[in-house]
Structure 1
């Protein structure tokens, strides 16, 4: 008998007096020791289907059909049963760890809470189990991290803590909703291997939600392809990948970031360069906050980026990629040389840097987190004009409309709010906000990691077109080596704050010089 069985599931949400269908008659099952993957675009109903399994949807949801766990009906179940099952028998790994982890509690307290609630494990036994879990999911020096808060970890490290919490009670069913989105390829490979091992040793059923078809091919036994709230095709993974029948499935499988950026002009000017850049964060302890050591986030990084050139920065989570970019933009303190547009900006004050800010912009990984929910699309994109001034005297609305068209957005939607756009559209808004000031350098910090494969291709094409049109210099931070290869002229590989290798992109991909780089490339499927 299946451990989790979904039959004719239908979910609708009440909005402005109307019923909006999110899931339309979905049926599938998950057996013990089996991995079932739900794939499809954002908004296809994947997460809503998963959340329905233990009634985690808001009160506005109208659910019909049947979901049984180990023979017990979950639709309409009493709260007592749901509390027993949630987090214990059925555990979740969510995509956004910062929205799931409590910012006011240490990692140890949050992990201990789950163990105490479901298994009654406290004290030294709980600490030992927590250290074991943290080591399993690849947290280095776990004991020193127990007192850390979520904001003190990198995105990938936070995701690993979420995975540790989900595995703490040895669930029968693990529902993983984009669990490797924020992870670099080596850790991603470790986590997938860990989940596969746990599935076998614990006889656990795994429902895996993802937009990364490379992961599906590696981990899944069965695949359900969702579109518009329906399963349009389902079957064994070899059958779906080898002989897809539905046009939408064929579109998903053919969506792969390919190509290369345009060559850089021989006389292109250098936009930014660093010399032996170093970022060390002090470790302070005791009542007087005495410095007892340093976290060496970046060590002796020397780079150079020209107009129209992309430097791809890759490495594990916590290796110093984002810290390096923030230091170059003078958003955090650093030591060493920083030159921007031919000027030494190391000692510039905040006031002196203000005029330079319009020439350096950043696009973040999570557009929903970096866009104000209380501002319209027009207000978000035009915000920089209010700070740095309007360069050509035209109305802000005209400038916003122009840049929206450039990034593939309909100017008629400029009065809408972020929650009214899809993930890909929100990322285009974030790109438009950066581009309206016509910068010379743009830091792209994991700009495609949370996007569907089809949307990833569109965003990469957009970024390459904008670079071609305006001669932009990019610092492109990503763990997705397919996207890095398609975007970058040069590659820098970082590990634990050190630059272990850098060079021309194709030369590095074809002939990596260090073991770490070779491990990174080997961990990326079908590179």
Structure 2
């Protein structure tokens, strides 16, 4: 008998008097010591299926079918029984630990809550177990981290804390919902290795939810491919990858960024240059806030980007990638030389800086977080025109329609709000907002990391097309090295604020010169399908 058995699961939601189906007749099993991956794009029903296993969906959900854990039915089970199972026998790890952890409680208190609830451990007994768990998931010097708050930990450390919480009561089944999406490639590899090791040692069943087939190949024993609420194909991982039968599975497998950007024109002039750019943040202590040291976020960075060229900036979290870009745009203070379009940026007055900002735009990682939920698509895209003016004098709505068509959005949707668009469409709105001002340089800060694989390919193609059309210079920041390779002419590798390698993309990816760059490439491309 399987540890977890899902049979003919159907889930729908009541909304405004209508019934909206989300999952249609899904069936699969998870055995002890086995990893089963649910794969599919956003909206395919993966997370709804997982949450249904222990009745974690809201009151608007209507659930039919059968979900048994260790032979006991979970659908319709009494609340007391469900509370015994949740976090004890079946535990969850969610995608974004910062939203799952309480910002007001220490790590010790948050991990300890589950121990007190399910095992009755408190005080020293709980503290000893918490230290043991944090050490088990690879937190260095765990005792010193007990009093830390979530914001004081890195992304990888926060995810490890989430894993420690999930493992606190030695569950039989661990459900991991996109646990590595927002992590650097090296941290992602560490987390995947950790999960695989824990599964072997604890004999857990692991239900792994992701849209990334590269991760699936590394960790899963079986794959269930979901589309529009249905499992369209399932089977052993090696078999699915070697011989996919369904067209949608083949589409996912082929959804890897490929190719290279068009060559930079031979006569392209340098648009952005830095000379020993430095960003140090002071460490202040005491009543008088005396500076006792500095966090060296960027340390003497010298780069050059030509019109029509993409400079990829890679490195682990905290390496200084985004700080470098923000300093170039003068959004944070820095020391050293910055030249934009032949002019000394540091010499610009506040008025001139504001005027020139139209030529330096930025697209952020999370499109939903960077778009105002109270503004329509038209208002969001046209916002820059209100700040910088409309020199052409054309009707604002016509300009919005034109730029929406450029980024493959239907102008008929310009009166909708952000929540009415998909993730990929929201990122296109963010790109349109930058492009309507006809900038010369665009900073792209992880613009594809939150997107499905198929949407990533579309956004990469769009960005390359816009670059050729307008001669744009891109600063492309990403931890996804496959996307960096498809987008970049040259690449900067950063580590702890220093540029440790700087070369054209082909040279860096084929023959990296530093051990750090080689480790990044190893972590990234070991995840790729053969």
TM interval, shorter chain, is over 0.9
1:478–1:126: structure 2 CA closer, same or farther, 3 Å change rule? Answer: farther
Provide closer, same or farther for how the CA distance between residues 517 and 413 of structure 1 changes in structure 2, counting only shifts above 3 A: same
1:166–1:328 CA distance, 2 compared to 1 (3 A): farther
**1:516 aligned partner:** 516
Distance 2:347 2:162 in 1: 40
The alpha-carbon deviation at position 126 of structure 1 amounts to 4.8
What does residue 392 of structure 1 align with?
A: 392
**Distance of 2:471 and 2:357 partners within structure 1:** 18
Counterpart CA distance in 1 for 2:413 and 2:170 is: 46
**Structural mapping, 1:40-59, within 5 Å:** 40-59=40-59
Q: Distance in 2 between matches of 1:96 and 1:321?
A: 21
- Aligned ranges 1:467-486 → 2 under 5 Å: 467-486=467-486
CA–CA separation in structure 1 for the residues paired with 2:150 and 2:506: 37
* 8 A contact 1:157–1:318 mirrored in 2: no
Shift of 1:350: 4.4
Which moved further from structure 2: 168-177 or 308-317?
Answer: 168-177
Tell me how far apart the structure 1 counterparts of residues 53 and 235 of structure 2 sit (CA, whole Å).
Answer: 21
User: Given the alignment of the two structures, is residue 488 of structure 1 paired with residue 488 of structure 2, yes or no?
Assistant: yes
Residue 8 of structure 1 deviates from its aligned partner by 0.8
Q: What pairs with 1:435-454 in structure 2 (closer than 5 Å)?
A: 435-454=435-454
Determine if contact 1:156/1:318 at 8 Å carries over to the other structure: no
- TM-score, normalised relative to structure 2: 0.94
Secondary structure, counterpart of 1:358 in structure 2? helix
In the other structure, the counterpart of 2:502 is: 502
Q: Which moved more, 1:194-203 or 1:433-442?
A: 433-442
Shift of 1:117: 3.5
2:104 equivalent in structure 1: 104
Aligned residue runs from structure 1 range 317-466, under 5 A: 317-346=317-346, 348=348, 350-466=350-466
- Measure how far apart 1:373 and its partner are: 1.5
User: How far apart in 1 are the matches of 2:139 and 2:268?
Assistant: 42
Cα distance, 1:114 vs. partner?
Answer: 3.6
Task: Quickly say closer, same or farther: Cα 1:367–1:165, change in 2 above 3 A.
Answer: farther
Counterpart-to-counterpart distance in 1, 2:290 and 2:116: 35
Instruction: Give the Å deviation of 1:84.
Output: 2.5
Q: For 2:331 and 2:115, how far apart are their aligned partners in 1?
A: 39
Q: C-alpha distance in 2, partners of 1:76/1:68? A: 11
**In structure 2, what is the Cα distance between the partners aligned to 1:242 and 1:226?**
18
Return the TM-score normalized by structure 1.
Answer: 0.94
Cα offset, 1:132, TM superposition: 5.2
- CA drift of 1:113 comes to 3.4
Separation in 2, partners of 1:141, 1:469: 52
Q: What are the residue-to-residue correspondences of 1:75-474 with 2, within 5 Å? A: 75-123=75-123, 126=126, 129-130=129-130, 133-134=133-134, 137=137, 147-153=147-153, 155-346=155-346, 348=348, 350-474=350-474
Residues 1:160 and 1:370: Cα distance change in structure 2 (over 3 Å)? farther
Please state how far the C-alpha of 1:100 moved relative to its aligned partner: 1.9
Residues 150-179 of structure 1 show CA distances to partners (whole Å, capped at 9, x for unaligned) of: 445555554444334333433221111111
Contact 1:93-1:175 at 8 Å conserved across structures:
yes
- Give the equivalent residue in structure 2 for 1:12: 12
RMSD: 2.2
The answer for unaligned runs of 5 or more in structure 2 is: none
Partners of 2:135 and 2:326 in 1: CA distance: 29
CA change 1:409–1:158 in 2 (3 A) is: farther
With over 3 angstroms needed to count, the CA separation of the structure-2 counterparts of 1:180 and 1:17, relative to structure 1, is: same
Query: Do 1:159 and 1:182's aligned partners in 2 also have CA atoms closer than 8 Å?
Result: no
- Between Structure 1 and Structure 2, how many residues are aligned? 527
Deviations 1:42-68 (A, max 9, x none): 111011111111222121111111112
Shift in CA distance, 85/338, structure 1 to aligned 2, threshold 3 Å = farther
Larger deviation, residues 197-206 vs 141-150: 141-150
Cα distance, 1:329–1:105 mapped onto 2, change above 3 Å: farther
Shift in Å at residue 182 of structure 1?
A: 1.1
| Cα separation, partners in 2 of 1:161 and 1:434, compared to 1, 3 Å | farther
Q: Distance in 2 between matches of 1:287 and 1:161?
A: 33
Task: Quickly say closer, same or farther: Cα 1:282–1:110, change in 2 above 3 A.
Answer: farther
Give yes or no for contact 1:156–1:182 (8 Å, CA) kept in 2.
no
Measured after TM superposition, the shift of residue 225 of structure 1 is: 0.5
Question: In structure 2, what is the Cα distance between the partners aligned to 1:360 and 1:296?
Answer: 25
1:136–1:185: structure 2 CA closer, same or farther, 3 Å change rule?
Answer: farther
More displaced stretch, 251-260 vs 284-293: 284-293
Q: Are the aligned partners of 1:157 and 1:317 in contact in 2 as well (CA < 8 Å)? A: no
Closer, same or farther: CA 258–71 of 1 in aligned 2, 3 Å: same
3-state SS of paired residue (1:317): coil
Q: Residue 346 of structure 1: SS of its match in structure 2?
A: helix
- Which residue of the partner structure matches residue 28 of structure 2? 28
- Partner of 2:296: helix, strand, or coil? strand
Shift in alpha-carbon separation, 1:278–1:65, aligned structure 2, 3 A: same
Determine the C-alpha separation between the residues in 2 that align with 1:108 and 1:334.
37
